[in-house]
Structure 1
Amino acid sequence: MSLASYICMDRQIPDKYLDLDDEDETLPFYIGRCFADENCLYNVKTSQFHKWYVYEISSHWGSEIVEPFDSVVSVRSKEKLRHLFTLMNEFLDEGESFELYTCWLGEESYPKEKSMTLSLELEQLEDIQIPERTHILITKTRGN
Protein backbone atom coordinates (compact mmCIF):
# COMPACT_ATOMS: atom_id res chain seq x y z
CA MET A 1 0.00 0.00 0.00
CA SER A 2 1.03 3.58 -0.55
CA LEU A 3 0.41 6.71 1.49
CA ALA A 4 -1.12 9.43 -0.70
CA SER A 5 -1.57 13.14 0.00
CA TYR A 6 -4.20 15.34 -1.62
CA ILE A 7 -4.97 19.06 -1.69
CA CYS A 8 -8.22 20.73 -2.65
CA MET A 9 -9.06 24.37 -3.37
CA ASP A 10 -11.68 26.66 -4.88
CA ARG A 11 -9.67 27.49 -8.00
CA GLN A 12 -7.21 25.75 -10.26
CA ILE A 13 -3.55 25.76 -9.41
CA PRO A 14 -1.64 27.74 -12.07
CA ASP A 15 -0.05 25.50 -14.70
CA LYS A 16 3.47 26.60 -13.80
CA TYR A 17 3.13 24.69 -10.50
CA LEU A 18 1.68 21.50 -11.98
CA ASP A 19 3.63 18.39 -12.89
CA LEU A 20 6.98 20.02 -12.27
CA ASP A 21 9.75 17.67 -13.29
CA ASP A 22 8.79 14.53 -11.38
CA GLU A 23 12.30 13.19 -11.97
CA ASP A 24 13.95 16.16 -10.23
CA GLU A 25 15.26 14.73 -6.96
CA THR A 26 15.79 18.23 -5.51
CA LEU A 27 12.04 18.90 -5.32
CA PRO A 28 10.34 17.47 -2.21
CA PHE A 29 7.18 16.79 -4.26
CA TYR A 30 5.31 17.77 -7.38
CA ILE A 31 1.61 18.41 -7.92
CA GLY A 32 0.38 15.65 -10.18
CA ARG A 33 -0.53 12.00 -10.17
CA CYS A 34 1.63 9.34 -8.65
CA PHE A 35 -0.57 6.71 -6.94
CA ALA A 36 -4.13 8.02 -7.32
CA ASP A 37 -6.49 7.22 -10.15
CA GLU A 38 -9.80 8.93 -10.99
CA ASN A 39 -11.67 6.88 -8.38
CA CYS A 40 -9.26 7.91 -5.61
CA LEU A 41 -9.57 11.58 -6.57
CA TYR A 42 -13.38 11.34 -6.72
CA ASN A 43 -13.60 9.53 -3.38
CA VAL A 44 -11.38 11.97 -1.53
CA LYS A 45 -13.23 14.91 -3.09
CA THR A 46 -16.67 13.68 -2.09
CA SER A 47 -15.72 12.22 1.29
CA GLN A 48 -13.13 14.60 2.76
CA PHE A 49 -13.07 17.92 0.94
CA HIS A 50 -15.31 20.97 0.72
CA LYS A 51 -13.75 22.65 -2.31
CA TRP A 52 -13.83 21.94 -6.02
CA TYR A 53 -10.33 21.30 -7.48
CA VAL A 54 -8.47 18.21 -6.19
CA TYR A 55 -4.81 17.40 -6.79
CA GLU A 56 -2.49 14.67 -5.61
CA ILE A 57 0.75 15.81 -4.01
CA SER A 58 3.19 13.30 -5.42
CA SER A 59 6.43 12.35 -3.80
CA HIS A 60 6.31 8.59 -3.95
CA TRP A 61 5.16 8.73 -0.32
CA GLY A 62 2.50 10.85 1.38
CA SER A 63 3.04 13.28 4.25
CA GLU A 64 2.79 11.87 7.73
CA ILE A 65 4.23 13.68 10.75
CA VAL A 66 3.97 11.65 13.93
CA GLU A 67 6.13 10.63 16.87
CA PRO A 68 9.04 10.08 16.82
CA PHE A 69 9.86 13.35 15.09
CA ASP A 70 13.31 12.18 14.12
CA SER A 71 11.96 9.42 11.88
CA VAL A 72 12.92 9.78 8.24
CA VAL A 73 9.26 9.92 7.15
CA SER A 74 8.40 12.70 9.63
CA VAL A 75 11.46 14.80 8.72
CA ARG A 76 10.78 14.47 4.98
CA SER A 77 7.09 15.16 5.53
CA LYS A 78 7.91 18.41 7.32
CA GLU A 79 10.14 19.42 4.41
CA LYS A 80 7.27 18.70 2.00
CA LEU A 81 4.83 20.68 4.14
CA ARG A 82 7.19 23.69 4.30
CA HIS A 83 7.60 23.54 0.52
CA LEU A 84 3.82 23.26 0.03
CA PHE A 85 3.18 26.26 2.32
CA THR A 86 5.78 28.33 0.46
CA LEU A 87 4.34 27.38 -2.92
CA MET A 88 0.73 28.07 -1.92
CA ASN A 89 1.70 31.38 -0.37
CA GLU A 90 3.00 32.50 -3.78
CA PHE A 91 -0.37 32.44 -5.50
CA LEU A 92 -3.12 32.40 -2.87
CA ASP A 93 -4.73 35.73 -2.03
CA GLU A 94 -5.32 36.81 1.56
CA GLY A 95 -8.34 34.96 2.95
CA GLU A 96 -8.10 32.07 0.45
CA SER A 97 -7.57 28.57 1.74
CA PHE A 98 -6.83 25.05 0.67
CA GLU A 99 -7.37 21.67 2.27
CA LEU A 100 -4.84 18.88 2.81
CA TYR A 101 -5.59 15.21 3.45
CA THR A 102 -3.31 12.16 3.66
CA CYS A 103 -4.45 8.55 3.72
CA TRP A 104 -3.52 5.10 2.50
CA LEU A 105 -4.41 4.57 -1.13
CA GLY A 106 -7.91 3.13 -1.32
CA GLU A 107 -8.94 4.63 2.05
CA GLU A 108 -9.99 8.02 0.66
CA SER A 109 -13.60 7.53 1.77
CA TYR A 110 -12.77 6.17 5.25
CA PRO A 111 -13.78 8.49 8.13
CA LYS A 112 -11.19 11.09 9.03
CA GLU A 113 -9.36 10.58 12.31
CA LYS A 114 -8.58 14.23 13.05
CA SER A 115 -9.26 17.76 11.77
CA MET A 116 -7.25 20.91 12.26
CA THR A 117 -7.05 24.49 11.02
CA LEU A 118 -3.77 26.28 10.27
CA SER A 119 -2.54 29.45 8.62
CA LEU A 120 0.30 29.56 6.11
CA GLU A 121 2.84 30.47 8.81
CA LEU A 122 5.94 28.27 8.65
CA GLU A 123 6.79 28.71 12.35
CA GLN A 124 3.79 26.61 13.45
CA LEU A 125 5.20 23.57 11.67
CA GLU A 126 7.97 22.98 14.20
CA ASP A 127 5.91 20.95 16.71
CA ILE A 128 3.00 19.87 14.55
CA GLN A 129 1.75 16.28 14.39
CA ILE A 130 -0.18 15.10 11.36
CA PRO A 131 -1.06 11.40 11.42
CA GLU A 132 -2.74 9.69 8.49
CA ARG A 133 -6.40 10.55 7.82
CA THR A 134 -6.06 14.08 9.17
CA HIS A 135 -8.01 16.83 7.38
CA ILE A 136 -6.34 20.25 7.51
CA LEU A 137 -7.83 23.56 6.42
CA ILE A 138 -5.01 26.04 5.69
CA THR A 139 -5.79 29.74 5.17
CA LYS A 140 -3.60 32.57 3.99
CA THR A 141 -3.91 35.38 6.52
CA ARG A 142 -2.52 38.87 6.62
CA GLY A 143 1.25 38.83 6.89
CA ASN A 144 1.83 35.43 5.25
Structure 2
Amino acid sequence: MSLASYICMERQIPEQYLNLDEKGETVPLYIGPCFADQDCLYEVKTKHFHKWYVYEISSHWGIEIVEPFDSEIALESKEKLRYLFTLMSDFLDEGESFELYTCWIGEESDPQVKSMTLSLALDQLEDIEIPERTHILITKQSEN
Protein backbone atom coordinates (compact mmCIF):
# COMPACT_ATOMS: atom_id res chain seq x y z
CA MET A 1 0.00 0.00 0.00
CA SER A 2 1.03 3.60 -0.53
CA LEU A 3 0.49 6.68 1.61
CA ALA A 4 -0.94 9.57 -0.42
CA SER A 5 -1.48 13.24 0.45
CA TYR A 6 -4.14 15.43 -1.11
CA ILE A 7 -4.82 19.15 -1.17
CA CYS A 8 -8.03 20.95 -2.02
CA MET A 9 -8.74 24.62 -2.71
CA GLU A 10 -11.31 27.01 -4.15
CA ARG A 11 -9.39 27.78 -7.34
CA GLN A 12 -7.09 25.96 -9.68
CA ILE A 13 -3.39 25.88 -8.95
CA PRO A 14 -1.44 27.83 -11.59
CA GLU A 15 0.10 25.63 -14.27
CA GLN A 16 3.70 26.51 -13.40
CA TYR A 17 3.30 24.72 -10.03
CA LEU A 18 1.94 21.46 -11.50
CA ASN A 19 3.85 18.29 -12.42
CA LEU A 20 7.31 19.71 -11.72
CA ASP A 21 8.76 16.18 -11.74
CA GLU A 22 7.92 15.90 -15.43
CA LYS A 23 9.77 19.17 -16.06
CA GLY A 24 12.98 17.85 -14.51
CA GLU A 25 12.66 19.92 -11.33
CA THR A 26 14.19 18.53 -8.15
CA VAL A 27 11.75 19.40 -5.38
CA PRO A 28 10.62 17.70 -2.13
CA LEU A 29 7.14 17.20 -3.57
CA TYR A 30 5.16 18.02 -6.66
CA ILE A 31 1.51 18.62 -7.35
CA GLY A 32 0.28 15.96 -9.70
CA PRO A 33 -0.67 12.30 -9.91
CA CYS A 34 1.47 9.56 -8.40
CA PHE A 35 -0.53 6.84 -6.60
CA ALA A 36 -4.13 8.07 -6.74
CA ASP A 37 -6.61 7.61 -9.56
CA GLN A 38 -9.77 9.63 -10.23
CA ASP A 39 -11.80 7.44 -7.85
CA CYS A 40 -9.39 8.24 -4.99
CA LEU A 41 -9.64 11.97 -5.75
CA TYR A 42 -13.44 11.77 -5.83
CA GLU A 43 -13.64 9.85 -2.54
CA VAL A 44 -11.34 12.20 -0.64
CA LYS A 45 -13.18 15.22 -2.07
CA THR A 46 -16.63 14.01 -1.07
CA LYS A 47 -15.66 12.59 2.35
CA HIS A 48 -13.14 15.10 3.71
CA PHE A 49 -12.84 18.28 1.67
CA HIS A 50 -14.99 21.40 1.49
CA LYS A 51 -13.47 23.06 -1.58
CA TRP A 52 -13.69 22.39 -5.29
CA TYR A 53 -10.26 21.60 -6.80
CA VAL A 54 -8.49 18.46 -5.53
CA TYR A 55 -4.89 17.48 -6.28
CA GLU A 56 -2.61 14.73 -5.15
CA ILE A 57 0.67 16.06 -3.83
CA SER A 58 3.27 13.50 -4.70
CA SER A 59 6.62 12.65 -3.29
CA HIS A 60 6.48 8.87 -3.55
CA TRP A 61 5.26 8.90 0.07
CA GLY A 62 2.64 11.03 1.80
CA ILE A 63 3.14 13.61 4.53
CA GLU A 64 3.12 11.85 7.90
CA ILE A 65 4.79 13.25 11.02
CA VAL A 66 4.59 10.88 14.00
CA GLU A 67 6.97 9.62 16.69
CA PRO A 68 9.87 9.20 16.50
CA PHE A 69 9.95 12.78 15.24
CA ASP A 70 13.59 12.51 14.18
CA SER A 71 12.93 9.52 11.91
CA GLU A 72 13.75 9.84 8.22
CA ILE A 73 10.05 9.84 7.24
CA ALA A 74 9.13 12.52 9.81
CA LEU A 75 12.06 14.76 8.82
CA GLU A 76 11.30 14.35 5.09
CA SER A 77 7.62 15.06 5.77
CA LYS A 78 8.50 18.30 7.57
CA GLU A 79 10.65 19.32 4.59
CA LYS A 80 7.74 18.54 2.24
CA LEU A 81 5.35 20.52 4.42
CA ARG A 82 7.70 23.54 4.53
CA TYR A 83 8.01 23.39 0.74
CA LEU A 84 4.22 23.11 0.31
CA PHE A 85 3.60 26.05 2.67
CA THR A 86 6.15 28.19 0.80
CA LEU A 87 4.70 27.23 -2.59
CA MET A 88 1.11 27.94 -1.51
CA SER A 89 2.13 31.23 0.09
CA ASP A 90 3.46 32.32 -3.31
CA PHE A 91 0.05 32.39 -4.97
CA LEU A 92 -2.64 32.36 -2.27
CA ASP A 93 -4.16 35.71 -1.41
CA GLU A 94 -4.52 36.85 2.18
CA GLY A 95 -7.47 35.04 3.77
CA GLU A 96 -7.46 32.19 1.23
CA SER A 97 -7.02 28.66 2.45
CA PHE A 98 -6.41 25.13 1.31
CA GLU A 99 -7.00 21.75 2.90
CA LEU A 100 -4.54 18.88 3.35
CA TYR A 101 -5.38 15.23 3.98
CA THR A 102 -3.15 12.14 4.07
CA CYS A 103 -4.31 8.53 3.99
CA TRP A 104 -3.46 5.13 2.57
CA ILE A 105 -4.60 4.54 -1.01
CA GLY A 106 -7.99 2.86 -0.83
CA GLU A 107 -8.81 4.40 2.57
CA GLU A 108 -10.00 7.79 1.27
CA SER A 109 -13.52 7.20 2.57
CA ASP A 110 -12.39 6.10 6.07
CA PRO A 111 -13.17 8.54 8.90
CA GLN A 112 -10.66 11.19 9.95
CA VAL A 113 -8.69 10.56 13.14
CA LYS A 114 -7.61 14.16 13.69
CA SER A 115 -8.46 17.65 12.46
CA MET A 116 -6.53 20.90 12.90
CA THR A 117 -6.27 24.46 11.63
CA LEU A 118 -2.95 26.12 10.79
CA SER A 119 -1.63 29.26 9.16
CA LEU A 120 1.15 29.27 6.58
CA ALA A 121 3.72 30.27 9.24
CA LEU A 122 6.70 27.92 8.98
CA ASP A 123 7.69 28.17 12.66
CA GLN A 124 4.64 26.17 13.78
CA LEU A 125 5.91 23.11 11.92
CA GLU A 126 8.69 22.31 14.40
CA ASP A 127 6.50 20.58 16.99
CA ILE A 128 3.62 19.43 14.83
CA GLU A 129 2.25 15.88 14.75
CA ILE A 130 0.35 14.74 11.66
CA PRO A 131 -0.68 11.08 11.70
CA GLU A 132 -2.41 9.49 8.72
CA ARG A 133 -6.06 10.49 8.22
CA THR A 134 -5.53 13.99 9.58
CA HIS A 135 -7.49 16.84 7.97
CA ILE A 136 -5.78 20.24 8.10
CA LEU A 137 -7.25 23.60 7.09
CA ILE A 138 -4.39 25.99 6.28
CA THR A 139 -5.07 29.72 5.84
CA LYS A 140 -2.83 32.51 4.61
CA GLN A 141 -2.89 35.19 7.30
CA SER A 142 -2.02 38.85 6.87
CA GLU A 143 1.68 39.68 7.02
CA ASN A 144 1.18 42.25 9.82
Structure 1 counterpart of 2:78: 78
Deviating beyond 6 angstroms after TM superposition, the runs of 4 or more aligned structure 1 residues are none
Greater mean deviation of Cα atoms: 22-31 or 129-138: 22-31
Are the aligned partners of 1:8 and 1:100 in contact in 2 as well (CA < 8 Å)? Answer: yes
**How many residues align structurally?**
144
Unmatched tracts of structure 1, length 5 or more:
none
Cα deviation code 1:19-69 (max 9, x no counterpart): 012485731011000000010000000000000000000111000001111
Structure 1 counterpart of 2:6: 6
SS in 2 for 1:21: helix
The Cα of 1:2 is off from its aligned counterpart by 0.2
Cα deviation code 1:53-97 (max 9, x no counterpart): 000001110000011111110000000000000000000000000
Cα distance in 2, alignment partners of residues 124 and 24 from structure 1: 31
Identity of aligned residues (%): 76
Normalising by structure 2, we get a TM-score of: 0.97
Structure 1 counterpart of 2:121: 121
Greater mean deviation of Cα atoms: 76-85 or 26-35: 26-35
SS in 2 for 1:141: coil
SS in 2 for 1:76: helix
**Aligned AA (1:44):** V
Structure 2 counterpart of 1:69: 69
